């Protein structure tokens, strides 16, 4: 690769594979393991470059998300139960004591206006 950064497209070009041929070979047990190992090596290289500042953070982030399935960390909560958390929902989910504590904390932490 002549000192060039590792990339999925670079690996495919080096091996003379189209994207579709690469995907086809991933489905073939004769090639799957070695292609997955090469893919993991590229992923590790991009991650290392990102962490050390060798690679542009936005470019590395794009590559990791689009080629390796990385995602921004999501809360581990059921989205159906959190669609609309309003006062009525809070009253159903929390005791009066808990609501009072939250209210007190809110007013203590609420920033003061600078009028």
d(Cα 49, Cα 60) in Å, to the nearest integer?
8
φ/ψ of residue 91, rounded to 5: -65, -35
Tokens of 15: 């091996």
Residue pLDDT, tens place only, 22-72: 999 989 999 999 999 999 999 999 988 888 888 898 999 999 998 888 887
Domain boundaries, the chain: 8-68, 81-109
pLDDT of res. 101: 73
Alpha-carbon distance of 45 to 3, in angstroms, equals: 12
Q: Is the pTM of this model over 0.85?
A: no
């Amino acid at each position: 690769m002549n000192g060039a950064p590792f990339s999925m497209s670079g690996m495919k070009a080096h091996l003379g594979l189209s994207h579709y041929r690469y995907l086809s070979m991933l489905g073939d047990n004769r090639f799957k393991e070695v292609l997955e190992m090469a893919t993991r090596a590229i992923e590790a290289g991009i991650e290392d470059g990102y962490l050390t500042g060798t690679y542009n953070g936005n470019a590395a982030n794009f590559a990791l998300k689009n080629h390796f399935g990385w995602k921004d960390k999501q809360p581990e909560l059921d989205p159906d139960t959190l669609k609309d958390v309003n006062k009525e929902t809070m009253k159903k989910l929390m005791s009066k004591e808990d609501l009072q504590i939250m209210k007190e904390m809110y007013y203590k932490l609420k920033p003061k206006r600078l009028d």
